[in-house]
Structure 1
Amino acid sequence: MWVVIAVDGGRSRIRINKKGRKNAKTNKHGFIGEWVEPKLVTIYVVDEQGKKVKNNEIKIVNDGTYEDYKGFLPILEMHLISLGISQAKQVLLIADGAEWIWKHIPPLLKKLKSPDATYQLFDFYHVTERLHKFADVAFSDDKERNNWFKKARRTLKKSNAMTIIRQMDEFISEATGERCKTMVIQRNYLLRAYRERRLNYAKVITQKLPIGSGAIESLIRQVVNLRIKGNSKFWLKENAEIILHLRCQWIAESWDNFCGSIFNSFIQPQTG
């Protein structure tokens, strides 16, 4: 069995109350709305057929926070220790190209003695978005653009990223100005992922494992987009944090256990 760890960030607005006198008419302080990124994680086990295992002994873990990565990492570490990540046979970490993820989570896995068979993978569909952006600039003809993109996508899935990078370099050598700049950005994204060995889709597919971060995207939609994010929704950060955590438990179908742990903490409080 494999342990899959998927990490990503959402987007919603919090309110920061203004200081000073309250509004004379409303008797309330005004506020400033600010977009922030809640960071979420889902951890689950898949069997030999690539299907999620979900029973009383093996549960899905969902969690997140509105803190920065320094606040997120202890939460992730807590869950990984609780799951006994050091006893896992194989682990897959899948995420987009966010720098904070790849800078901090792999060292955390190493610290917790994650198994040697730990694979790191850029989300396939995020990478193909980069290929699409490159094709939009490289080709003026729709048919040529679509043909190149489809072929590049198949090549990427076979883990032949260097073939695509060489093709990109040929187009870049003939481009100038903003067009060239845009293509270089997309090429560099792919080159970085290749050098870091995070494009090994062929091997992951043979293991019947996910190559996309659909699980975490679904969690963000259910937790953030459908409840916290929305027109005219401005949450106090501490309230958004509570709702985020509660909805993570609900969607993981661990609500009863979660409530039970809270009640037990009142009945039998831990002493330092």
Structure 2
Amino acid sequence: MAKNISATLDLNKSVKSFHSQVAKLLEFTNITEWNGKKLREREEQIREQAIILAGQCIAILLYNLSISPKVLNYSVSQTQEWRKLNTQKHGSKKRQIVTFGNVEVTLNLPYVLERNPTSKESNNFPFNGPKIKTSNQGFCPFLKWLGMSEGITPLVWSTIAKYGAIASSFDAARSTLMDWGINVSLKRIERLTYLFGEIGINLRQSKILNLEMDHLSNSNVLKDQRVVIAVDSGRTKIRFNKKGRRSNKTNRHGFVGEWMEPKFLTIYVVNEQGKKIRTSAIPITNDGTYSGYKEFLKILEMYLENLGISEAKQVLLIADGAEWIWIHIPPLLKKLKCPLETYQLLDFYHAASHLQDFADAAFNTENERQAWFKKSRKILKKGQTLDLMRNMGELISEATGERCKIMVRERNYILKAYRRRLLKYNEVVARKLPLGSGAVESLIRQVVNLRMKGNSKFWLQNNAEIMLHLRCQWIAKSWDNFCDSIFNFFIKPQTG
């Protein structure tokens, strides 16, 4: 690993060093030696020097902040709620902070430490005062306030977490981070990524608790909007330790990998033409969980309440035929007082796949299968489901054996969706709302299939939950807002 560069804490000196290094890189002599490879090398060298200069500038800013009594006092007030009743000032500590370009600045900062109230006084001489043992659980208010308790600046930490989440592996993330002047170990990238995401999960949980206590704020983001809620499940192998003794050779428990289905949601808005809207004022909401449908319903309710679903103009719930969805989510939408114009729809392309399976069993030739399938698909889309049911019934009456069983199964699937009023495709098309749940299927592909699913990939459930949550924020293009919420988490002024 590259050695950290000490901060100069002198802007003129840093600029002079930058100028000296870059001036040489701007020179060229024999033009015949130049090509794309040569230019690329120069680009990388100039970028490296620019990143180091940026790191030196940030180091100066941090040092100036750290020597300001006003700033230090304010940091104490902003982190007061992190201190326990028996936490006291404990002098100063030197702390090293690393920023971009591996520039390291040493700050001398006030430190607070939790004193152990159960420990006995070890020295009763009045002129020395009592000596009390400490629990060594302390922090620097300045670092806590600015989100730097991990020894790196906020932008460095959020960049590590971003690439740790969106890269194909932590090793790939490390290569990308090194290109941008962040040279940290593979283990540290992994730890910092999970820590960052864990804070996000905790913030999500606190919102759920606020919802349960009726304290959750309503942002009214969805007021007068046409809202689509798409729900689906993915698959990931989760690692579970075997019960019993550890192995004598490795001193570890063995493990088994079991498939689990994380449940996903995406909430977005479409315009009058049915096109998805993606702006800072109306963001897309993506999330999911490995904790089962009950926890998923809490997460969904929290988001819908927070976004103001009751103020929406129209709402469309679209999903596949999973029982848990249609048993539990429609009552939830009713509980949240969704508008009268709320539609529930079985994903059209999912329904069509069952028609194809019916056709495959009903007909002997490919031409007959495709002709019937195309005609039935159009009938389904027009909302003429009863006509389709009659036709399927006639074909079933002529079939026998295994083919008949398949046809009955596929007909009953469509019939069940019809009875649940999930096949109103003609009404949804007329209102220019989407017929398919492609948005959530794409989300699952990007979150799970491209990172978390693969040969020999086994995830601990907590780590899988964190990775899912992080990747959902990135894909929704909400990363900056997500990072803001993480660093606001460290601000806890005294209340009451």
Shared topology, TM-score over 0.5?
A: yes
Larger Rg: 2
Q: What letter is aligned with 2:418?
A: Y
Confirm or deny that 1:140 pairs with 2:354. no
Matched residue, 1:18: 242
3-state SS of 1:266 partner: coil
- SS across alignment from 2:302: helix
Match of 2:378 in 1: 154
The within-5 A match list for 1:1-272 is: 1-268=225-492
TM-superposed CA distance for 1:25, in Å, is 3.1
* Cα distance in structure 2, aligned partners of 1:74 and 1:85: 15
Post-superposition CA distance 1:114-173 (Å, at most 9, x none):
111000000000000000000010001111111000111111111111111111101111
RMSD over aligned Cα atoms: 1.4
Deviations 1:53-106 (A, max 9, x none): 111111000000001111100000000011100000110000000000000000
**Offset at residue 27 of structure 1 (A):** 3.0
If the length of structure 1 is used for normalisation, what is the TM-score? 0.97
Going from structure 1 to structure 2, the CA distance change for 1:271 and 1:192 (only over 3 Å counts) comes to: farther
SS at match of 2:416: helix
Q: What residue ranges of structure 2 are gaps of 5+ in the alignment?
A: 1-224
Q: For residues 295 and 405 of structure 2, what CA distance do their matches in structure 1 show?
A: 35
Corresponding letter in the other structure for 1:98 = A
Which runs of 5 or more residues in structure 1 are unaligned?
none
Q: Within 1, Cα distance between the matches of 2:361 and 2:375?
A: 17
For residues 72 and 100 of structure 1, the distance between their equivalents in structure 2, rounded to whole angstroms, comes to 11
Higher relative contact order (CA 8 A, sep 6+): 1
Identity %: 69
> Match of 2:460, as an amino acid?
L
Structure 1 pair 67–138 and aligned structure 2 pair: CA distance change class (3 A): same
Shift, 1:38, TM fit: 0.3
**Aligned-partner SS, 1:48:** coil
* Partner amino acid, structure 2, of 1:162: L
Q: What TM-score, normalized to structure 2?
A: 0.54
The runs of at least 4 aligned residues of structure 1 exceeding 2 Å deviation read 19-28, 268-272
Q: 1:196–1:257: structure 2 CA closer, same or farther, 3 Å change rule?
A: same
CA distance in 2, matches of 1:139, 1:64: 41
Measured after TM superposition, the shift of residue 209 of structure 1 is: 1.2
Alpha-carbon distance, 1:260 to partner: 1.2
